[in-house]
Chain A
Amino acid sequence: MKFASRLVSFDPAPGDRFRPISTPIYQTATFEQEHADSFGEYDYSRSGNPTRAVLEKHLASLENGSRGFCFSSGMAAISTVTKLLRSGEEILADSDLYGGTCRLFSKILDRSGIVARYADASDPERFEQQITPSTRLIHIESPTNPLLRVIDLRRIAAIAHDHGALLCVDNSTMSPYLQNPLDLGADIVLHSATKFLCGHHDVTAGAIVVKDEKLAEQIYFVQNAEGNSLAPFDCYLLLRGLKTLKLRVDCQQRNALAIARFLSSHQDIQRVYFPGLIENRGYAIQRSQARGAGSVLSFTTGSVELSKAIAEHAKLFRITVSFGSVNSSISLPGAMSHASVPPEILAQRELPPDLVRVSVGIEDEEDLIADLDRAICRAKERTSIATGAEIPR
């Protein structure tokens, strides 16, 4: 079955006597047991819930894995993966990493004696050199956020396995529609389901999918023991949002490519970061491992002031963190989503302060381009007036 069909044709309510077309919301903490000395399929919603079970199974199938797990946020999912490590073991992560992941790795895990190091995974040879005998987990995003660097997932998977490490890929910028890391050799794929999977800015959620049964048991153990699974109502909203994933992403990608081309040819834009442009360094790898370039892109202007003014003058692009929703959004990662990167790590990584990230939604392409065009124009006027005013009389 093709992806579009798989998105909607799953059993929404296995075993349900009423056969509803939408999954029932089991907003319940506990389940009545038939016997006093043994448990049925469900006993307590932290351990398992029928609404969550439908979502987890569906996501596992969409990522071509065997088991799926849903969490109260993307960070809860990432944190769960790190629980596979013991004190003294290391995480090697790509250097262009989401700020919150960086904060978890460097400011929380250090307390458990887990060391996180960062290297540019888009240069696999140099990345491999950073692996030590203690490296247990390699964690990457591709394309990365916010620089949209493409990482050769097959290469990194081979490197990880050569060194006995697990490869975890954060697939949030792509969604299972565009990229399936498990098929490319990753051991664990995870999502901030808040992004494309949900698509409507109405759920905060995370997901993990694995193929290996033993790994699945370990993840389940942590999910149950830590109690960070996704609530039933959020599972329902996510199941609902997921059905239109392909429609949304098709439209978002089309818009994003048009916007990337518009920005590339705009005289006031310095550089556009988008793997859907043929001149992008990662274009060929992206084509070899994914079915599209997604709809997140970044650009620089050469001036923090100008970048800030563009974000503030755009109307259809709202200033928000997060990405992947039907609404377009605009942000300055340095000041927003990546402000949580510890300063000592930030110093090592390339994050242009004037970088603007946009997440392209499903609005009309012409309206979006006109909005950005107007915003750039107004922003230029404002910043040049502001600069003029600063000249001492």
Chain B
Amino acid sequence: MSTQDLQVSTVAIHGGRTLDSHASSILFPLYQTSTFVHDAVGVDKGFSYSRVSNPTVDALEKVIGALEGTPPAVCFRTGMAAIATLFLSVLKAGDHAVISDVVYGGTMRLFREVLDGLEITASFVHTSDAANVEAAITPTTRIVFLETPGNPTLKLTDIDAVAQITKRHSILLAVDNTFLTPILQKPLLLGADISVLSTTKYIDGHNATVGGSLATRDEKLLERFRLIRKTIGTTQAPFEAWLTLQGIKTLPARLRLHCEGASIIARWLEDHPAVERVYYPGLDSFPQKALARKQQSSPGAMIAFELKAGVEATIRALNSVKLCSRAESLGGLETLITHPSSTTHADLDPELRRSLGISDGLVRLSVGLEAAEDIIADLDQAFVAAGCAETTEEVSHEIR
């Protein structure tokens, strides 16, 4: 049976399985080995050295590819290794990239501090307006790189609109789909050429591993990714791949619960008198709600919000949470709360941060799988403890 005929929740469980494993174990074995014995000089069994490829990593690549609707993906030690490989694969000295201004800070740092020295340049533009992408394209532009929803303000970019532009200019379009995963948004169906994932987030889902992946239907690009990966040695490790394979099985089920919780919490936040503003694509107040409906099958489980009481009170509130954890990263079972301006986006120029809508009072919430009531009660007590809010009446009344 081809995985194309199966539903995602089935593919997540069976997409990485290869039934001809000699012992027919229900789980794919962990090939924690650096090298493989050759049958004869120059004759191997498809694997020769784990920096190049490894059966367990291969199984993970199959399932991610099946979820993306592509040939097997290419997996990396980290999300940044995937992104760096992508740019090293398609850009050379003198080339240019157009990138969403809301991309993860690490992607910005890659250009500003690493690729810059190789004379590779990038323009960071407000891609929510596709016209800005068109305007930024120069004769040396080779790729447009989007992140939608953007981090941390959840600003969306119309993938289809940008894809029409990149096709017209015969350049590549890559989308970092980490916030939604191919379960909730399929960039390749919307016209993108490459889908990028930090598998550390929802794909693993248990905060157990660090990893990244690149998926595309373009076989030549896949070859190029593998060449760069083996050359610079950023291949995913077998144990990480094995854990990710286990995590991915519950991805569709987890995402349903993550999104359900996020939607309840976003509405509660919006109704809370201490909250100034909530960014969540599932709210009627979200300016790009229509676009979210068009290209995503769910608003996702990331929320950003600002408190009325200002920066100092916000930091006090963050320091008062008990159930939520103050930690970077997102997409795991545990609810994580972050202060982007001092953590994930601290490296950015304050001026730039403000222009991106990342105020010093902005809070990002990665909604985990705890009961929404418990997360709400924790946030509520943190707002009270920080002096942002009066003690409210029974929290449960506010949950619809």
A residues contacting B by CB (< 8 A) are 15-34, 40-42, 50-51, 233, 236
Asked if A29 and B26 make an inter-chain contact with CB atoms under 8 angstroms apart, the answer reads yes
CA gap between A189 and B142 in the complex, in Å: 68
Sorted nearest first, the 4 A-B pairs with minimum C-beta distance are A22-B33, A25-B30, A24-B29, A20-B33
CA gap between A25 and B55 in the complex, in Å: 12
For B36, give its contact among A20, A29, A41, A42 (CB under 8 Å): A20
Complex interface: chain B residues within 8 A of A30 (CB): 25-26
| B38 closest partner in A (C-beta) | A19
| Interface 0/1 of B20-38, CB less than 8 Å to A | 1111111101111111111
Asked if A31 and B24 make an inter-chain contact with CB atoms under 8 angstroms apart, the answer reads yes
Q: A17-B45, A19-B39 are in contact. Are A31 and B32 (CB under 8 A)?
A: no
Asked if B55 and A50 make an inter-chain contact with CB atoms under 8 angstroms apart, the answer reads no
Asked if B36 and A32 make an inter-chain contact with CB atoms under 8 angstroms apart, the answer reads no
B residues contacting A by CB (< 8 A) are 19-27, 29-39, 44-47, 55, 242
17 contacts between A and B (CB under 8 A): A17-B21, A18-B45, A19-B37, A20-B31, A20-B33, A20-B36, A20-B37, A21-B35, A25-B29, A25-B31, A25-B242, A26-B23, A29-B27, A31-B26, A32-B26, A40-B24, A42-B24
| B243 closest partner in A (C-beta) | A27
| B21 closest partner in A (C-beta) | A17
CA gap between A29 and B246 in the complex, in Å: 13
Asked if A28 and B20 make an inter-chain contact with CB atoms under 8 angstroms apart, the answer reads no
Can you add 7 more A-B contacts, CB < 8 Å, to A18-B31, A21-B34, A50-B23? A16-B22, A24-B29, A27-B29, A30-B25, A31-B24, A40-B23, A42-B24
Complex interface: chain A residues within 8 A of B35 (CB): 20-21
Complex interface: chain B residues within 8 A of A26 (CB): 23, 25, 27, 29-30
Asked if A33 and B34 make an inter-chain contact with CB atoms under 8 angstroms apart, the answer reads no
Complex interface: chain A residues within 8 A of B37 (CB): 19-21
Complex interface: chain B residues within 8 A of A21 (CB): 33-37
Complex interface: chain A residues within 8 A of B19 (CB): 32
Complex interface: chain B residues within 8 A of A29 (CB): 26-27
Complex interface: chain A residues within 8 A of B22 (CB): 15-17, 50
For A42, give its contact among B23, B32, B46 (CB under 8 Å): B23
Asked if A28 and B34 make an inter-chain contact with CB atoms under 8 angstroms apart, the answer reads no
CA gap between A26 and B55 in the complex, in Å: 13
Closest chain-A Cβ to B72's Cβ sits at a distance in Å of 16
CA gap between A248 and B60 in the complex, in Å: 37
Closest chain-A Cβ to B238's Cβ sits at a distance in Å of 9
CA gap between A50 and B30 in the complex, in Å: 12
Complex interface: chain A residues within 8 A of B25 (CB): 26, 28, 30-32, 42, 50
> Which of B25, B27, B33, B36 has the largest count of A CB atoms less than 10 A from its CB?
B25
Asked if B47 and A18 make an inter-chain contact with CB atoms under 8 angstroms apart, the answer reads yes
> Which of B19, B21, B23 has the largest count of A CB atoms less than 10 A from its CB?
B23
Asked if A22 and B34 make an inter-chain contact with CB atoms under 8 angstroms apart, the answer reads yes
Complex interface: chain A residues within 8 A of B44 (CB): 19
Complex interface: chain B residues within 8 A of A41 (CB): 23
Complex interface: chain A residues within 8 A of B32 (CB): 22, 24-25, 236
> Which of B21, B44, B45, B47 has the largest count of A CB atoms less than 10 A from its CB?
B21
CA gap between A23 and B26 in the complex, in Å: 18
CA gap between A173 and B317 in the complex, in Å: 58
Q: A24-B30, A26-B29, A27-B29 are in contact. Are A19 and B36 (CB under 8 A)?
A: yes
Complex interface: chain A residues within 8 A of B47 (CB): 18, 20
CA gap between A28 and B20 in the complex, in Å: 15
Q: A18-B31, A24-B30, A26-B29 are in contact. Are A31 and B23 (CB under 8 A)?
A: yes
CA gap between A377 and B235 in the complex, in Å: 53
> Which of B29, B34, B46 has the largest count of A CB atoms less than 10 A from its CB?
B29
Complex interface: chain B residues within 8 A of A19 (CB): 36-39, 44-45
> Which of B19, B39, B45 has the largest count of A CB atoms less than 10 A from its CB?
B45
CA gap between A19 and B27 in the complex, in Å: 18
CA gap between A23 and B242 in the complex, in Å: 15
Closest chain-A Cβ to B16's Cβ sits at a distance in Å of 13
Asked if A28 and B29 make an inter-chain contact with CB atoms under 8 angstroms apart, the answer reads yes
CA gap between A24 and B59 in the complex, in Å: 14
Closest chain-B Cβ to A103's Cβ sits at a distance in Å of 36
Closest chain-A Cβ to B318's Cβ sits at a distance in Å of 38
Complex interface: chain B residues within 8 A of A23 (CB): 33
Complex interface: chain B residues within 8 A of A32 (CB): 19, 24-26
| A16 closest partner in B (C-beta) | B22
Q: A19-B39, A20-B31, A21-B34 are in contact. Are A27 and B23 (CB under 8 A)?
A: no
Complex interface: chain B residues within 8 A of A17 (CB): 20-22, 45
> Which of B22, B35, B45 has the largest count of A CB atoms less than 10 A from its CB?
B22
Closest chain-A Cβ to B53's Cβ sits at a distance in Å of 10
Complex interface: chain A residues within 8 A of B20 (CB): 17
Complex interface: chain A residues within 8 A of B242 (CB): 25, 27
Closest chain-A Cβ to B142's Cβ sits at a distance in Å of 37
> Which of A15, A16, A233 has the largest count of B CB atoms less than 10 A from its CB?
A16
CA gap between A35 and B24 in the complex, in Å: 12
CA gap between A30 and B25 in the complex, in Å: 6
For A24, give its contact among B24, B33, B34, B46 (CB under 8 Å): B33
CA gap between A19 and B23 in the complex, in Å: 14
Closest chain-A Cβ to B111's Cβ sits at a distance in Å of 39
Closest chain-A Cβ to B148's Cβ sits at a distance in Å of 36
Closest chain-A Cβ to B30's Cβ sits at a distance in Å of 4
Complex interface: chain B residues within 8 A of A233 (CB): 30
Complex interface: chain B residues within 8 A of A28 (CB): 25-27, 29
| A27 closest partner in B (C-beta) | B30
CA gap between A12 and B55 in the complex, in Å: 16
Complex interface: chain B residues within 8 A of A25 (CB): 29-32, 242
Closest chain-B Cβ to A40's Cβ sits at a distance in Å of 6
CA gap between A276 and B35 in the complex, in Å: 41
CA gap between A26 and B28 in the complex, in Å: 7
Asked if A33 and B24 make an inter-chain contact with CB atoms under 8 angstroms apart, the answer reads yes
CA gap between A106 and B149 in the complex, in Å: 66
> Which of A19, A21, A233 has the largest count of B CB atoms less than 10 A from its CB?
A19
Closest chain-A Cβ to B40's Cβ sits at a distance in Å of 11
Complex interface: chain A residues within 8 A of B34 (CB): 21-22
Closest chain-B Cβ to A72's Cβ sits at a distance in Å of 19
For B46, give its contact among A16, A18, A27, A31 (CB under 8 Å): A18
Complex interface: chain A residues within 8 A of B39 (CB): 19
Closest chain-B Cβ to A117's Cβ sits at a distance in Å of 45
Complex interface: chain A residues within 8 A of B29 (CB): 24-28, 50-51
> Which of A23, A25, A33, A50 has the largest count of B CB atoms less than 10 A from its CB?
A25
Complex interface: chain A residues within 8 A of B45 (CB): 17-19
Closest chain-A Cβ to B247's Cβ sits at a distance in Å of 14
Complex interface: chain B residues within 8 A of A50 (CB): 22-23, 25, 29
| A23 closest partner in B (C-beta) | B33
| B39 closest partner in A (C-beta) | A19
Closest chain-A Cβ to B32's Cβ sits at a distance in Å of 6
CA gap between A40 and B20 in the complex, in Å: 13
